[in-house]
Amino acid sequence: MKPKAVVVGGSIAGVSCAHTLILAGWDVVVLEKTCEPIKGSPTGAGLGLDPLAQRLIQSWLDDPELLYSSTLPLTIDMTTKGLQNQNAVSSRANITLRIFVCKQNQATDSEKKVSWTLTRDDNFNFRAAHWADLHGLLYNALPPNILLWGHLFLCFCISEDKTSVKIKAKVLETDEEIEIVGNLLVAADGSLSSIRQSFLPGLKLRYSGYCAWRGVFDFSGNENSETVVDIRSSYPELGKCFYFDLGSETHSVFYELPNKRLNWIWYVNQPEPELKRNSVTMKVRSEMIQKMHREAEKVWIPEFVRVIRETKDPFLNLIYDTDPLEQIFWDNVVLVGDAAHPTTPHGARSTNMSVLDAAVLGKCLEKNGVENLQAALREYQTTRLPVVSKQVLHARRMGRIKQGLVLPDHEAFDPKNSRSEDYQEVQQKNMPFFDDVPLLLI
């Protein structure tokens, strides 16, 4: 009989694992508490796929071209410097920096309407996707009945001989509790992983010191509106570039998504809000959104502010990570994705790390077989842990620099006194293992 894996969590990490474990010869069932296939997501906005993640995802699809038809190129990495909204009255310095992940660094003076480039990398070669679009591609390419919607994970227990694991879940539609027995439990249940907590009860997420306002501006049917025409004039590389605008103690991210959408993120330093539910996404009220709009006018150029104002249902993410874990498997339970390495988003790594986790785990299981499960999980841990640990810490450092926060070996970043080294340091290509391909996948 085929070995069986139970994956808890049906997000991108979970469905990626389903693909790779099936390819490795395993039976797979995925438990997801959401009650139906995801057509959109209030917490899933834009993401960037690196070349390796693109290649892996294509290998899991019946039609590899589907990935390219549902994404846009991000071929430039750019940074810019210039004056912020000239009409703003703010205690912030009147300078912002723009970094494009095409990736180019360019400066813009919003008063004189001129800009200049600080750094630029034309070989970025990422692609922009909407979370729901990518999830739909991966889910639709799975065999039927692999993913069990509306199944809430409750608990698990490992057999005395360590050869099997029993998972208990609740079917939300009926309140029935069911048990599933497998050879392997894969925890793809996110940064607040309850499975990880079973082994590391004292582990707490580390609040970064800032939150992120996020939104997707849909301009379909309004391609020639004043807002769209003006924003394309201010951000001329939209559709192939990942823009970072850096200001005093703040920064934003801006790029285009397929199907006439613009994705934006604005990071704001603030004390840690109190969460009232098990989520790093905070429910926002209309007065919070209105206050955010007023603050945006003090910081960003009018064209960008208009996009923010016209975005429906913006939401607020609290930004967390953890210090790198010392291990990511116990017996026949293994962590993948954000459960294994909660990270801040500044290295554009979270989804890419999840896809690569899944690929490496599948290859380790295929290579060693279920009879050598411990050896397979040990190889997975040995391969991934050094990489993700350095990437998590580097993303943390990038975020603190961009937000003007203190670092032991780095003065607080200030656009008024910034140096060329500062711009170079926050380029994506400086991420550890940026172009690395594990030997297992070659």
Question: How far apart are alpha carbons 191 and 208 in whole angstroms?
Answer: 14
Conformational region of residue 244, where left means phi above 0, alpha means psi within -120 to 50, and beta covers everything else: beta
| Beta-bridge partners for 210 | 269
- pLDDT of 83 over the 50 cut: no
- Give the mean pLDDT of 135-153: 96
pLDDT over 70 for what percent of the chain?
88
Q: pLDDT confidence of 1, banded at 50, 70, 90?
A: confident
Q: How would you class 376 by CB atoms within 10 Å of its CB: exposed for 0-12, middle for 13-18, buried for 19 or more? A: buried
User: Containing domain of residue 246, as a range?
Assistant: 75-126+208-320
Residue 137, SS3? helix
Domain total in the chain:
2
Shared domain check, 187 and 87: no
Q: Are 346 and 8 in contact (CB under 8 A)?
A: no
- pLDDT of 440 over the 50 cut: yes
Residue 416 to residues 86, 105, 188, 246, 285, Cα–Cα distance (Å): 16, 16, 43, 11, 35
Q: For the ranges 109-113, 311-315, 438-442, which has the lowest average pLDDT? A: 109-113
- The closest of 172, 161, 142 to 30, measured between CA atoms, is 142
Q: pLDDT confidence of 248, banded at 50, 70, 90?
A: confident
The residue behind tokens 């937000």 is: 403
Shared domain check, 158 and 301: no
DSSP notation for 387-410: HHHHHHHHHHHHHHHHTT--BTTB
Shared domain check, 252 and 133: no
- Give the mean pLDDT of 307-319: 95
CATH code assigned at 33: 3.50.50.60
Residue 415 covered by a domain: no
- pLDDT of 366 over the 60 cut: yes
Shared domain check, 300 and 387: no
Shared domain check, 214 and 198: no
Give pLDDT, residue 276.
67
CATH code assigned at 269: 3.30.9.60
Q: Which of 268, 294, 320 is the last residue of a domain?
A: 320
Shared domain check, 220 and 353: no
Shared domain check, 378 and 344: yes
Question: How far apart are alpha carbons 88 and 90 in whole angstroms?
Answer: 6
- pLDDT of 417 over the 90 cut: no
Shared domain check, 229 and 133: no
